Amino acid sequence: MTAQQRLVDTVLDIVGDRADAEVNADVGTSALTRFANSFIHQNVSEDTAEVSLRVALDGRVSSSSTTATSPDALVAFVDATLGTAAQQPVDDEWPGLGGPVAQPDVEHWDEATARADPMDRAGAVKSFVDAGEGLVAAGYCQTEVHGLAYANTQGRTAGGRYTTAIVDGIHRTPTSAGSGHATAVALGSIDAGEVGTLAAQRARDSVGAYDVKPGEYEVVLSPECVATIAVFLDAYGFNAKVAQEGMSFVELGESQFDASIDIWDDATDPRALNVAFDVEGTPKGRVDLVRGGETVSLLHSRRTAAKAGVVSTGHAVPGGDVFGSFGMNMFVGGGTESPEDLIASVDRGIYVATFNYCRVLDPKSLVVTGLTRNGTFMIENGQITVAVTNMRFTQSFVAALGPGNVGGIGNDDRFADSEFGPAMIHAPSMRLASWNFTGGADG
């Protein structure tokens, strides 16, 4: 029996017949190698064990979590959670717990990454740094190893494990910077030198950047930019709780996006990350959200599914009763054109490597303001010509991908970094007909 399974069983035994209960346990190791000024300056590794418990006493619900996992600490933890539940008002929308259900036989795991040591991560860092000879590099290499288990008092169980590796960094000249990123199940599948080469090229090409006039420009966006668009669609649109509160752009059955756009969430995809069940023990599968431009589905937990009269899609997350459901393996369908082909098809426009500090101005239309960063370039006659300084944009992310606005989709889809972080969105480069730049970085 795994450590996480023992924790889950122990907590359920302590709860006994005092309440309906569900327990999640996450046991793992997070290891991080950081570098700055082209030298490793920190290597840390943390073994973690966290237990989350949700109990229901006659419709009175309480949730809590702890990292104190000794027998006495777990008894105190359970008693405190039950005591809090007894003081809560009855939750009229409590959907109850799910019974036994078959779980997908899926594992996103790499044994070498699970065993990765500081020297393995240092090797990736060296490859990244060496790719930018004469430049100054900074960033990190991270490996994650997790085992998860779930069980409830209705007999539902789930368990799994996963590994994740990330290489992320910048190269800098005295006046410019460029970024590169890669995420995968296996550290060995990441070409850190290639990631560093891209960051170095962007840094060198960004020297001598100049201001351009604000306005509407055709753009080619990197996977990182498209991932940021997708993660905002995820959190503020496809989230069933947001939709039920009338704050989402989603109109099911409507062609809200260009016909070339497909978006789905699928933890069972061979390219995916993490485990294939959510914090309610609901199994995950493919959920199409946009198919051929038509918005076709939302992401549900048991609570929002019960309210809508449907079944959960397996997207309950910690704290989801407050902010709703979230897709952790969202895919934006890739295309057939290389990034170079996308650029070559633009007469005059702007290439953007990264978005930064994006904030929602209008959730209903998903108008977002943000900045470009670490690689913004003018495209003229199908070629990148000169670098431009960072720019502010104010743009509806829904309208940007709207009917007729997508001029091409790249074949470079991968797990990309996003405004909400890495390891969530698998996205390609994309050419869009119009993007509203409203000023420089200062306004």
267-303: per-residue pLDDT in tens?
999 999 999 999 999 999 999 999 999 999 999 999 9
Edge-to-edge strand list for the sheet holding 177-184 = 60-66, 39-57, 20-36, 136-152, 157-172, 177-184
Distance of CA 72 to CAs 8, 52, 76, 133, 272, Å?
Answer: 15, 16, 6, 55, 38
For residues 197 and 244, membership in a common domain is answered with no
For residues 218 and 167, membership in a common domain is answered with no
Domain boundary, last residue among 202, 229, 254: 202
Quickly count: other Cβ atoms within 10 Å of residue 215's Cβ: 10
Domain boundary, last residue among 185, 202, 219: 202
Radius of gyration of the chain (CA): 23
For residues 295 and 344, membership in a common domain is answered with yes
The DSSP call for residue 203 is H
> Rounded to an integer, what distance in angstroms lies between the CA atom of residue 417 and that of residue 436?
22
For residues 194 and 218, membership in a common domain is answered with no
The dihedral over CA atoms of 311, 315, 317, 320, expressed in degrees to the nearest 10, equals -60
Would you state the structure tokens that stand for residue 154, as one six-digit string?
């209705």
Q: Which amino acid is at 303?
A: R
How does the average pLDDT of the chain come out, rounded? 97
> Rounded to an integer, what distance in angstroms lies between the CA atom of residue 401 and that of residue 385?
26
> Rounded to an integer, what distance in angstroms lies between the CA atom of residue 435 and that of residue 393?
8
For residues 225 and 188, membership in a common domain is answered with no
Chain centre distance of CA 221:
18
For residues 279 and 141, membership in a common domain is answered with no
245-267: burial string, b at 16+ Cβ within 10 Å, e else: eebbbbeeeeebbbebbbbbbbb
For residues 196 and 233, membership in a common domain is answered with no
The pLDDT of residue 399: 98
Cβ(99)–Cβ(36) under 8 Å?
no
> Rounded to an integer, what distance in angstroms lies between the CA atom of residue 199 and that of residue 172?
9
Q: Which amino acid is at 391?
A: M
Nearest by Cα to 95 from 56, 62, 63: 56
The pLDDT of residue 442: 65
The pLDDT of residue 437: 97
The number of distinct structural domains making up the chain is 2
Domain boundary, last residue among 157, 187, 202: 202
For residues 282 and 138, membership in a common domain is answered with no
The pLDDT of residue 98: 97
Strand 367-380 and strand 177-184: the pairing is unpaired
Quickly count: other Cβ atoms within 10 Å of residue 10's Cβ: 18
For residues 265 and 192, membership in a common domain is answered with no
The pLDDT of residue 440: 78
Distance of CA 156 to CAs 90, 177, 274, 282, Å?
Answer: 24, 50, 20, 9
Task: Give the percent of the chain with pLDDT over 70.
Answer: 99
The DSSP-derived string for 51-72 is: EEEEEEETTEEEEEEES--SHH
Residues of the chain by 3-state class (helix, strand, coil), percent to 5: 25, 40, 35
Beta bridge partners of 299: 239
CATH number of residue 151's parent domain: 3.30.2290.10
Domain enclosing residue 414, as ranges: 209-443
Digit-by-digit pLDDT tens for the chain (443 residues) are: 899 999 999 999 999 999 999 999 999 999 999 999 999 999 999 999 999 999 999 999 999 999 999 999 999 999 999 999 999 999 999 999 999 999 999 999 999 999 999 999 999 999 999 999 999 999 999 999 999 999 999 999 999 999 999 999 999 999 999 999 999 999 999 999 999 999 999 999 999 999 999 999 999 999 999 999 999 999 999 999 999 999 999 999 999 999 999 999 999 999 999 999 999 999 999 999 999 999 999 999 999 999 999 999 999 999 888 999 999 999 999 999 999 999 999 999 999 999 999 999 999 999 999 999 999 999 999 999 999 999 999 999 999 999 999 999 999 999 999 999 999 999 999 999 999 999 876 65
Q: Is 11 left (phi over 0), alpha (psi -120 to 50) or beta?
A: alpha
For residues 49 and 160, membership in a common domain is answered with yes
**What is the tens place of the pLDDT at every residue in 298-337?**
999 999 999 999 999 999 999 888 999 999 999 999 999 9
The pLDDT of residue 313: 98
For residues 269 and 310, membership in a common domain is answered with yes
Q: What totals of helices (H) and strands (E) does the chain contain, helices first?
A: 11, 19
The pLDDT of residue 441: 65
For residues 342 and 262, membership in a common domain is answered with yes
> Rounded to an integer, what distance in angstroms lies between the CA atom of residue 61 and that of residue 64?
10
